Amino acid sequence: MTTLLKSAIIIDAFSPYHKQTKDILINDGIITKIDTNIPKKDGYQVVELDNLHVSTGWFDTSVSFGEPGYEERETLRHGIQVAAKSGFTDVAINPNTSPIVDNKSAVEFLINKVNGSATNIHPIGALTQRSKGIEMSEMYDMQQSGAIAFGDYNKPVSNDNLLKIALLYAQNFDGLVLSFPKNNSIAGEGVANEGKNSTLLGLKGIPALAEEIQISRDLFLLGYTGGKLHIPTISTAKSVQLIKEAKKKGLNVTCSVAVHHLFLTDDELHGFDANKKVTPPLRTEEDRNALLKGIQDGTIDIITSDHSPIDVEHKKVEFSTAKDGTIGLESAFGALNTLLDLETMIKCLSNNPRERFGLDKITIKENEKASLSIFNPEGDYTFSEENIISTSKNSVFLDKKLQGKVYGVFNNNQLVLNS
């Protein structure tokens, strides 16, 4: 198949065509020519779209689907279509299914289920058996079957020695360990950020300290053991500072932030909308600004949607009893596009996550594989249910003003566009 992208503005700091408007010719999934004007020919699949922009394919490092076990929330096949139409060529799948992804058979099931799709999936294996935090999982076997990292989704490793052993053991095969930043003893039964708003609303609070003390512990352990540590979805100003200091000391640590923590604060909770109940909780404006600064100065490496579909039965309930989580694939670009310049966004959505999680490096030039996200950064709109492709509709961004349009992806010699 031959595909021709006409008048595409290329956003790729590693490409010789960065910020240039070019035609891109793709034959059998490989970029064969980039030039100012490539003539159309019979049989070409031609893409001509308003203000067409392309970048290297986006990689979301924290995506949950339902299957297996919670197919009513999202199936793998439909979820992969959602990811593609949201601009993501690659997604890392969290292990929070039923059964938990804690062995090589479970990893292989995920990969084989959607093999050949436009969007690639990369399973994250559970760090501990059944994500119970008691015994270490079969990490090496899972990596041999395709797992790219190991962590218990939204569950902290409370056992200090277990995390120490995991960091030591993973070094034998260059494994990446994830440690969710939450101290359950301090967080207790909290459901919202501890502060002015939780007090006014009568909601049990989760102190920022619950995140920061866990990160401090993780960094001390990493300094002792060595190895590779990734801290997902940080949310406080102090967390940014702790990781910044650790990097200066030479520790091999990275971190991510969820889009909603860059965009929203706990002021959103006054309507008791359970869609706004997420983990970690939405924090303060001071925290939000510190996170944005952390993106700009390179302390925060990766941005994720932290996509987590929850069925209506577990969201249309009282705030304190609702399940945590928001979908985020469809709204990720539109939200980030209101906050960040395109180069910074692409670095945190593509280059940095690919490098940290061990995916092949890609760039937009001739004789390279075409792995492209396709979008238009212009145009404001209000995000509504009409913009949601996911089976579950639990979006924290409903009724928010976003900017830009994702057209889709070209990856694995397949073009997927929004209708």
Q: For the packed helices 237-248 and 208-225, what is the interaxial angle rounded to 10 degrees?
A: 10
The three state secondary structure string of 149-168 is: EECCCCCCCCCHHHHHHHHH
The position carrying tokens 């992969």 is 80
Handedness of CA 183, 188, 190, 196 (dihedral sign): negative
The encoded tokens of residue 53 equal 């922009």
What is the helix (H) or strand (E) element at residue 84, kind and residue range?
A: helix 76-85
The encoded tokens of residue 386 equal 């009409």
Reduced to 3 states (helix: H, G, I; strand: E, B; else coil), residue 363 is: coil
- Nearest-angstrom CA–CA distance, 331 and 186: 32
Reduced to 3 states (helix: H, G, I; strand: E, B; else coil), residue 45 is: strand
Query: By the 8 A CB rule, do 350 and 14 touch?
Result: no
Q: Please tell me whether the peptide bond between 309 and the residue prior to it is cis, using omega within 30 degrees of 0.
A: no
Give the number of residues written for the chain. 419
The dihedrals phi and psi of 149, each to the nearest 5 degrees, come to: -165, 175
- Nearest-angstrom CA–CA distance, 361 and 287: 32
Query: By the 8 A CB rule, do 22 and 67 touch?
Result: no
Verify whether residue 60 is a known catalytic residue. Answer: no
Q: Which of the residues 12, 90, 301, 306 is marked catalytic?
A: 306
Burial class of 94 by CB neighbour count within 10 A (0 to 12, 13 to 18, 19+): buried
What is the helix (H) or strand (E) element at residue 287, kind and residue range?
A: helix 285-296
Residues whose CB falls within 8 Å of the CB of residue 340, separated by 6 or more in sequence, listed in order: 292, 295, 348
What is the helix (H) or strand (E) element at residue 209, kind and residue range?
A: helix 208-225
The dihedrals phi and psi of 256, each to the nearest 5 degrees, come to: -130, 165
- Nearest-angstrom CA–CA distance, 295 and 303: 9
The position carrying tokens 């299914």 is 97
Catalytic residues: 306
